[in-house]
Structure 1
Amino acid sequence: WLLIRGLRTLPARLERITNTTREVLTFLKQHPRIDTILFPLDESFPQYSLAKEQMRGASGLLTITLKAGTAESITRFCEALKHFSMAVSWGGYESLVIPKCAGFSPAQFDPGNTEHQYIRIYTGLEDPQYLINDLAQALES
């Protein structure tokens, strides 16, 4: 019953999440502290043409790296977010964030390995400006 009920609103939720993600993406692309953004339907994505060929839309999941890609700066950014929960339950209504380095001990973190610097962001159903304001204040922390 819950599955059927959720499927009825899925198109509206996906449209909202896609639009929110695009606005967040536009903000992040212009921010000086952001080094890399990975999102399949962004023109700068290495396999953009393949993604565009195979996909009509994308989820609210994207990956960023910060210019100062230390474990401390990544952790500070994620902990400064007030409206993103630190969790890995993608696909729901709430916005989430998880740094890849959360799974590493300090000795395991390799600042030269870009993948260790990944921060996964999922945008939910919240107002885009609400999320952008939160990201902006966290990036300034």
Structure 2
Amino acid sequence: MSSSLEVIYSVRVEFGDCDPAGIVWFPNFFRWIDAASRHFFMQCGVPRWEETAKTLGVIGTPLVDTHTRFVASASYGDELSIATRVAEWRHKSFVQAYRVMRGETLILECEEVRIFGGRREDGSLCALPVPAEIARLCGREV
């Protein structure tokens, strides 16, 4: 099952985001994608993780796998749009898909598998079943 919702997160590439060749240093894309992930949930109406920790036991959405395909480079001054959606809902994880664009130019595509993280009694991290309330807010199609 996927989500029909797509949320756009905008980034302006700054001089310090680039390497000596003048192109975006690749780890910055992962920083922006992580921000786009949280932005997606906020735009869908999901409360801050501090609140979901109290109400649902969800402390965040840790990353467990990622696959990225770089297509074009980006440089200082570029305005990038990161389109984010949930491509697949699973029992204890979900796949978020991202498209990073500069206007009509595809810069990269990325898919991440994330979990809804919680804590066991001993404090260690665990994957929780996808909360129905969050999936509903994020447009989960049944």
Give me the TM-score of the superposition, normalised by structure 1: 0.27
| Structure possessing the higher relative contact order (Cα contacts under 8 Å, 6 or more residues apart) | 2
Structure with the higher helix share, 1 or 2 = 1
